[in-house]
Amino acid sequence: MQINAWLVHNFAVLVSSFRQIIHTPLPSAMTTSVIGIALALPAGLYVLLDNVQNISGEWGGVAQISLFLKPNLAEKQVHKLADQLLNKNEIASVQVIMPEEALAEYKKLSGFGEALTALESNPLPPVLVIQPTNTDASTENLLEYLSRLPQVNIAQFDMLWLKRLFAIVKIVQRGVVLLAILLCLAVLLVIGNTIRLAIDNRHDEIKITKLVGGTDAFIRRPFLYTGFWYGLLGSLIAWILIQLSFWLLQSPVEQLTALYYSDFEMITLNFFSSITLIIIGSSLGFLGAWVTVGKHLKQIQPH
């Protein structure tokens, strides 16, 4: 029976604290908007980095080494070299691209088909596309070995740019974590200051409540729920901002990736990420209110 009364009282306080927020729409909207923007920035950047990693994986998730051979090599010599390289344990596969195939593919993809027909001879060399068995430090040794072959003009590691991109993404991820920590602290300060103003406005009411025997837990409860509501509403605003931003970006990103013959689709906050964002926002609101109320209630004593 006592537990039921406690639950009923908590629910009543939860509803009344929400009503108080609604009764001051402009200040509440400003506070929740600031919280929403602060939460949306790191969450949106994190989702954006996930998209960058996914699209870079589609552009070249498999490490390849391209060997541009000398133009005077006959087709039989090219295939002989390919067979020799395929016997090496470090190489998983070798694809032969003859100059005629390369030129036909370039005409198709570049859009300069008519201009290329004016060429008197094919300027493209034979190419071997090599798939290494392992994409680790040994790839650099394999690249060095292949570049010294007498039939090879240029040996190029096609994934080098992607490795650099991943390294940059890791650095940015660390930056996003630091930014998230700083903005979470900012959310705590915003909620703490809002709750402090609410305590100041109800200073006399708190004194009277203490005089008639109200406990600190009883007095603290509505302020904690107010902080919870601010955090929850702020996280919902953050979710809306993120969804809206990625919806606006979706069309131009699809147009860009279509130019690279990719059917990439942007990802946004899924169900788990959305729930996590809401829990973080609500928890920050509750924590900010708890710290502030605990500090200021001690300073208010009935005389």
40-49, 75-84, 136-145, 173-182: range with lowest mean pLDDT: 136-145
The answer to whether the CB of 169 falls within 8 A of the CB of 262 is: no
Is a pLDDT exceeding 60 seen at residue 118?
A: no
Is a pLDDT exceeding 90 seen at residue 280?
A: yes
* Residue among 130, 126, 141 at smallest CA distance from 63: 130
Q: What is the pLDDT of residues 180-194, one digit of tens each?
A: 999 999 999 999 999
The answer to whether the CB of 288 falls within 8 A of the CB of 191 is: yes
Q: What is the pLDDT of residue 290?
A: 92
* Residue, of 159 and 87, whose pLDDT is higher: 87
Mean pLDDT over residues 111-115, rounded? Answer: 54
Residues 178, 184, 189: CA angle, nearest 5 degrees:
130
E strand or H helix that includes residue 67: strand 65-69
Q: Is the pTM of this model over 0.85?
A: no
The answer to whether the CB of 249 falls within 8 A of the CB of 48 is: no
Which of 30-39, 52-61, 266-275 has maximum average pLDDT?
30-39
Residues 146, 147, 152: CA angle, nearest 5 degrees:
90
Spatial separation of the C-alpha atoms in residues 109 and 259, rounded to whole Å: 10
Q: What is the pLDDT of residues 215-229, one digit of tens each?
A: 777 888 889 999 999
Is a pLDDT exceeding 80 seen at residue 214?
A: no
Q: What is the pLDDT of residue 251?
A: 83
Average pLDDT, the chain: 81
Per-residue CA distances from 199 to 93, 176, 294 (Å): 71, 34, 11
The correct answer on CATH 3.30.70.3040 for the domain covering 65-158 is yes
Is a pLDDT exceeding 70 seen at residue 114?
A: no
Spatial separation of the C-alpha atoms in residues 238 and 273, rounded to whole Å: 12
What's the one-letter identity of residue 8? V
Q: What is the pLDDT of residues 130-178, one digit of tens each?
A: 888 776 556 778 888 888 888 888 888 766 666 677 778 788 888 888 9
Spatial separation of the C-alpha atoms in residues 123 and 93, rounded to whole Å: 26
Instruction: Provide the pLDDT confidence category of residue 119 given band limits of 50, 70 and 90.
Output: low
Alpha helical stretches, state H, 117-215? 138-147, 160-201, 203-211
In the chain, residues under CATH classification 3.30.70.3040 are 65-158
Mean pLDDT over residues 1-23, rounded? Answer: 80
Spatial separation of the C-alpha atoms in residues 196 and 211, rounded to whole Å: 21
